[in-house]
Amino acid sequence: MAITETVHSEEEFIFDKSITCPACGEPFKTKILKSSKARRIGSDADLRPRYAHIDTLKYGVCSCPNCGYSAVHSVFSHVVGRQIENIQQEVCARFVPEDRSSWKSYSYDQAIRLHELALRCSQAKPAKDGEKAYLHLLLAWLIREKSVQADEIADTEVREAEKESCEKQADEHYLQAFEGFERAMMNELFPIMGLNQFTMEYMMAYMAFYFGKMEVAAKLLGSVLTNKSASRHIKDNALDLKDEIIRQLKQKKQA
Ligand SMILES: [Zn+2]
């Protein structure tokens, strides 16, 4: 007997919500995740979330197809007076209205485009460092995933060029995220874009490690590991990363 596996599409986990744009006043439909429908299966070492059958990160921003104003869902409606004027001048004035009615679920290119618009709006606003850094982080994660998808490209030359370009862009956003969060941690109150202090410190430790800033990473990990309020899950991640840093430092000494 043949075993049939149910094939899931991302459309099952999202729905269209009607919303009015605070920048242009036009109504439009945005894609939202159905709450509790998608099942979390884990996260990467830098806490990038992973869900079964859907990459939920693609649906992180709300974007008006009429004027281009875009932002993470939690802040989309919280934009006022002068900020709207700045966004209209910097982003909307150059935006050509788009018909996105055929977008059933988002491809990586579509999701990246919407996040890039949100980043430009956050820069125009101007938003706090935490909000801008968060968008850089989402873009780094999305573009890195686009690079993984490029493995499917048959032509070697095209594939390698695509992967190299994606990895370069992802690293640039990752660095911007790291530097932006560094400023946010000094000047803003937690939670920053929904991230509590220990989650942020662990994530920053991983990013510091990624960029070879071992002392910064060690200091942040120390803060996570000695704090009684940090969760077991975050402490376990921190211990794993600490081991990895020690292993790499030993290797360097031997080399
Ligand atoms: Zn609009």
- The whole-angstrom separation of Cα 115 and Cα 72 is 8
- What are the tokens at 194? 């929904």
- The whole-angstrom separation of Cα 145 and Cα 167 is 10
Say how many Å lie between the CA of residue 28 and the centre of ligand 1.
Answer: 8
For residue range 191-233, what is the model confidence (pLDDT) as tens digits? 999 999 999 999 999 999 999 999 999 999 999 999 998 999 9
Say how many Å lie between the CA of residue 248 and the centre of ligand 1.
Answer: 49
Instruction: Identify the H or E element spanning 87.
Output: helix 81-90
Say how many Å lie between the CA of residue 146 and the centre of ligand 1.
Answer: 28
Say how many Å lie between the CA of residue 92 and the centre of ligand 1.
Answer: 8
Say how many Å lie between the CA of residue 63 and the centre of ligand 1.
Answer: 8
Say how many Å lie between the CA of residue 68 and the centre of ligand 1.
Answer: 6
CB-based contacts of 186-190 (< 8 A; 24+ apart in sequence): 187/128, 187/129, 188/128, 188/129, 188/130
**3-state helix/strand/coil string of 169-228:** HHHHHHHHHHHHHHHHHHHCCCCECCECHHHHHHHHHHHHHHCCCHHHHHHHHHHHHHCC
Show pLDDT as tens, one digit a residue, over the chain (255 residues).
556 677 789 999 999 999 999 999 999 999 999 988 899 999 999 999 999 999 999 999 999 999 999 999 999 999 999 999 999 999 999 999 999 999 999 999 999 999 999 999 999 999 999 999 999 999 999 999 999 999 999 999 999 999 999 999 999 999 999 999 999 999 999 999 999 999 999 999 999 999 999 999 999 999 999 999 899 999 999 999 999 999 998 988 887
Say how many Å lie between the CA of residue 20 and the centre of ligand 1.
Answer: 8
Say how many Å lie between the CA of residue 24 and the centre of ligand 1.
Answer: 4
Axis-axis angle for helices 129-149, 156-187 (nearest 10): 160
Query: Model's pTM, two decimal places?
Result: 0.95
3-state secondary structure of 241: helix
For residue range 76-90, what is the model confidence (pLDDT) as tens digits? 999 999 999 999 999
